[in-house]
């Protein structure tokens, strides 16, 4: 671990749309049932945005909660980064809409797109801005309306996804008790076709998704395991030095296999996907928030974050919360 200038994460908050779609609800739409979905994914329900509720709406509500939690005004924010694969429009960015709606007139704002790895990619960018002095406070948001790109007639994918947003503040670390310790990013464009959201519409979707489920399953375990082991080795740490593993919340079987194949204690994993399904770039802040609210994650705990998403993109981060 190095003692150079670091950033810290604070004010983690999430927002989920009010509408809930249970597994029983899905069984009336496609040929599936609650037992099948739970046994294969661990998902029990997902939240779905209304037709007139968009990714920026979710991002705004999450951001407001984060600012309130930190007793900050929107004008205290220097930068807004939104990670999303499901913006309402191709242009302008979701981030500038958030800036306008919360009144963060002193911030510069932009989106990034790294699919389910987006929060970790955004964390790396925000951390760099803090370390370079380009920003004092960065509002980092992962927000998705996956329901708007999901083909609800395709039972292989529609059971997996939900909508939501998670956000946090990054600022300068003033002590060793709360800091971002390390971040590591990867991508492999040769495997881009494993998960694709196409521009063309299908079954009233704003761009339908196709996914090679078996290959994605294997890639997720392999990539996240690589990311975790690499970052631990490069920082002279072992899994015993970590209090909690926060993996991307895509599938409970992926998380279980990741732990089994790498000898990570499964009891160290925070799993929240049963409550919200796969919300892409929003799952990691959601899982952290869930861990804090459930009383498991404490101040000063060391968290190991890891995710893999379309691209393929993947990465890891070690954070002392």
Query: Domains of the chain, with CATH numbers?
Result: 7-172 (3.40.47.10), 179-320 (3.40.47.10)
Of 129, 195, 166, 170, the residue nearest 283 (C-alpha)? 166
- Please give the average per-residue pLDDT across 90-111, as a whole number: 97
- Please give the average per-residue pLDDT across 219-230, as a whole number: 97
User: According to the model, what pLDDT value does residue 181 have?
Assistant: 97
- Please give the average per-residue pLDDT across 51-76, as a whole number: 98
In this structure, of 9-13, 15-19, 55-59, 172-176, the range with the lowest mean pLDDT score is 172-176
Which pLDDT band holds residue 2 (cuts at 50, 70, 90)? Answer: very low
Residues annotated as catalytic (active site), given as ranges: 116, 248, 278
pTM: 0.95
Average pLDDT, the chain: 95
- Phi, psi (degrees; rounded to nearest 5) at 136: -95, -35
15 neighbors 102 (Cβ within 8 angstroms): no
For 234-250, b where at least 16 C-beta lie within 10 A, e where not — what string? eeebebeebbbbbbbbb
1 has pLDDT over 50? no
Of 233, 242, 227, the residue nearest 300 (C-alpha)? 242
For residue 278, give the 3-state DSSP assignment.
strand
- Please give the average per-residue pLDDT across 176-180, as a whole number: 89
Return d(Cα 178, Cα 159) in angstroms, integer. 37
Parallel, antiparallel, or unpaired: how do β-strands 163-172 and 195-197 relate?
unpaired
User: According to the model, what pLDDT value does residue 280 have?
Assistant: 98
Region label for 163, one of left (φ > 0), alpha (ψ between -120 and 50) or beta (otherwise): beta
In eight-state DSSP terms, residue 205 is: B
233 has pLDDT over 50? yes
User: Taking CA 172 as the corner, what is the angle to CA 299 and CA 136, rounded to the nearest 5 degrees?
Assistant: 130
Q: What is the pLDDT of residues 269-301, one digit of tens each?
A: 999 999 999 999 999 999 999 999 999 999 999
205 has pLDDT over 60? no
- Total length of the chain: 321
Q: What is the pLDDT of residues 106-139, one digit of tens each?
A: 999 999 999 999 999 999 999 999 999 999 999 9
């Amino acid at each position: 671990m190095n003692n150079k200038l670091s950033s810290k994460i604070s004010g983690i908050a999430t927002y989920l749309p009010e509408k809930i779609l249970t597994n029983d609800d899905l069984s009336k739409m496609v040929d599936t049932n609650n037992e099948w979905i739970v046994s294969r994914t661990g998902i029990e329900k997902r939240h779905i945005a209304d037709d007139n509720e968009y990714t920026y709406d979710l991002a705004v509500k999450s951001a407001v909660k984060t600012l309130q939690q930190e007793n900050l005004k929107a004008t205290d924010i220097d930068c807004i980064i939104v990670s999303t694969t499901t913006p309402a429009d191709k242009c302008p960015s979701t981030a500038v809409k958030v800036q306008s709606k919360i009144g963060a007139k002193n911030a510069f704002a932009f989106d990034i797109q790294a699919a389910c790895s987006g929060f970790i990619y955004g964390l790396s960018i925000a951390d760099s801005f803090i370390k370079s002095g380009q920003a004092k406070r960065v509002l980092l948001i992962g927000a998705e309306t996956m329901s708007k790109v999901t083909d609800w007639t395709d039972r292989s994918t529609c059971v997996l996804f939900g909508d939501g947003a998670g956000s946090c503040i990054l600022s300068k670390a003033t002590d060793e008790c709360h800091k971002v310790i390390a971040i590591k990013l990867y991508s492999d464009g040769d495997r881009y076709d494993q998960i694709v959201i196409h521009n063309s519409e299908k079954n009233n979707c704003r761009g339908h998704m196709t996914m090679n489920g078996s290959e994605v399953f294997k890639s997720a375990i392999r990539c996240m395991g690589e990311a975790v082991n690499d970052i631990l080795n490069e920082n002279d740490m072992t899994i015993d030095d970590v209090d909690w593993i926060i993996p991307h919340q895509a599938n409970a079987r992926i998380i279980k296999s990741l732990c089994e194949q790498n000898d990570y204690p499964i009891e160290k994993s925070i799993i929240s996907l049963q409550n919200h399904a796969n919300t892409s770039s929003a799952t990691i802040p959601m899982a952290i928030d869930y861990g804090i609210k459930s009383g498991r994650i404490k101040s000063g705990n060391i968290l190991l974050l890891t995710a893999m998403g379309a691209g393929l993109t993947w990465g890891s981060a070690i954070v002392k919360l």
